[in-house]
Amino acid sequence: MDEPPLPPAPPLETCYRHPEERTAVHCTRCGRPICPACMVPAPVGHHCRTCVEEARREFRRGGLRVGARGLSATRVLLGAIVAMFLLEVALGGPGSFAGGSARTLVDLGALVPVLVATGQWWRLLTAMFLHAGFLHLALNAYALWLFGTLVEGTYGRWRFLAIYLVSGFLGSVASYAFGGLDVATLTSVGVGASGAIVGLLGAFIAYNYRRRHHAIAWANLRWALTIILINVVFGLTFPGVDNKAHLGGLLAGMAAGSLADGVGPARSRPLTRVLGFAGLVALGVALAAWRTAVIRTRLAAL
């Protein structure tokens, strides 16, 4: 018994940019036929070069402005942490250059849980501007320059500053609120801008996640998540890394980045952003107040 003949293969189309090239592949975004020279890998299938250029323009609209006029907030923050380090060295002597003087760091506002519990709440903010030695400063300064330039260009100067400060504050709060109650932890000295810097990375993730259907944003997401993975491995491998501050800063940065992103009619309203940021700060204050009560109870029992 004869089998029915197979249906004829559909005729090949020609590439929309190269009519001499025949192809059966189409752009998964617009449906244009594309030849191998015009294919750009996408999360699903391939995009044509026209769609990629359109996505790039849409992605940049209201976003990346690295060359914008005015004083760079990233440079101001870099200047602030360098100036504070020079003050550390001036007050603590040459030894502060190598590893930091604990006494000097405490005097300048390092995060010491038992001191925060006695009412010195400003340490939850000032600790992010101090560093324990030149190597600590150099690593954080490089990361701030790299991520700060990127995130400031994406969100603009003032929203970038708000993200940085809120992330640093909530990173300090996480370190304070979820640490141990033993004497060593309560009297430990914590410094560094890493919570705020990881928060910038969190904001960058939030920004690109909302645009993940674009190839550029998807590539940015993969890069940022790789950096986060490296940070996690580093934090679990080496002692002395405050993983609680990093996680708190990351989550705060993602939340702040979502609030600062002007996507959608509600999110574009300045009042919505202000109230959202105020809510994040209020959450930090509430956590710090709760932890203060716990520590005071612990100290009273000693």
Q: Which residues of 209-237 are buried (b: 16+ CB within 10 A; e: fewer)?
A: bebeebbebbebbeebeebbeebeeebee
In a domain, 39, yes or no: no
Name residue 26's beta-bridge partners.
33
Task: Please report whether residue 26 resides in a domain.
Answer: no
Contact 79, 148 (CB under 8 A): no
User: β-pairing, 46-47 with 40-41?
Assistant: antiparallel
The residue annotated as part of the active site, out of 194, 213, 214, 268, is: 194
Average pLDDT score over residue span 13-23? 87
Q: Say if 243 falls within a structural domain.
A: yes
pLDDT tens-place string over residues 64-110:
444 445 678 999 999 999 999 999 999 988 777 777 688 999 999 99
| R_g of the chain, CA atoms, integer Å | 25
Give me the domain span that covers residue 129: 73-301
Q: Which residues contact 220 (CB under 8 A, 6 or more apart)?
A: 204, 208
Pairing type for strands 13-14 and 40-41 reads unpaired
Write the DSSP assignment of 147-161 as a string of letters. HHHHHHHHH-HHHHH
Provide the pLDDT for residue 37. Answer: 87
**Structural domain contains residue 123:** yes
| Count of domains for the chain | 1
Residue with tokens 């060295």: 89
Instruction: Respond yes or no: is residue 268 known to be catalytic.
Output: no
11, part of any domain: no
CB neighbour list of residue 67: distance below 8 Å, 6 or more residues apart: none
Domain contains 8: no
As given in the structure block, the two tokens for residue 153 are 């260009």
Q: What is the pLDDT of residues 116-172, one digit of tens each?
A: 999 999 999 999 999 998 999 999 999 999 899 989 988 889 999 999 999 999 999
The pLDDT value given to residue 229: 87
DSSP line for 248-280: HHHHHHHHHHHHH---STTTT-HHHHHHHHHHH
| 14 part of a folded domain | no
**Of 131, 136, 214, 246, which one is the catalytic site residue?**
246
Alpha carbons 34 and 39: distance in angstroms, whole number: 6
Residue 54 inside a domain? The answer is no
| CATH for 266 | 1.20.1540.10
What pLDDT band is residue 58 in, cutting at 50, 70 and 90?
A: low
Instruction: Answer yes or no: 214 catalytic.
Output: no
Contact 144, 128 (CB under 8 A): no
pLDDT tens profile 192-229: 999 999 999 999 999 888 877 777 777 778 888 888 88
